[in-house]
Amino acid sequence: MRKAGLLPYGLVLAADFYLLPLCMRNTGSAMLLLLCVMPLTAFAVGVLCGVRRGFCPLLPAAAVLLFLPTIFLYYNPSAWAYGLVFGGIVLAGNGIGRIFYGKR
């Protein structure tokens, strides 16, 4: 599997982590985005990658690495755990998508 093939998935994750926080106006919208929209997007990216490319452990690692700078841009240092959570969500989605990889 080529690493360059992960670029579209990484770009969607980057948009998820860097552009969606710009829509946060108050605590309610921040919680909705951080706890619902962003994890669902990350899960969908993981599933889609798993269905199209099979299991790829680089994608969850990329999700963690992409999220880490956002801690200092949008959140506070207590948000570091979200990076691990998003990596786990992408990993789970990628594993579920892998189940359907051979069935296309």
Would you place residue 32 in the very low, low, confident or very high pLDDT band (cuts 50, 70, 90)? very high
CB 90 within 8 A of CB 50: no
Dmax (CA) of the chain: 44
- Please give the Cα distance from 1 to 16 (Å, whole number): 24
Q: Please enumerate in sequence order all residues whose Cβ is within 8 A of that of 87, keeping only pairs 6 or more positions apart, or say none.
A: 60, 61, 63, 64, 67
Range 30-39 average pLDDT: 91
Range 27-33 average pLDDT: 89
pLDDT digits (tens, 9 = 90+) for 88-100: 999 999 999 999 8
CB 90 within 8 A of CB 75: no
Residue 34 has pLDDT above 90, yes or no: no
Range 28-50 average pLDDT: 93
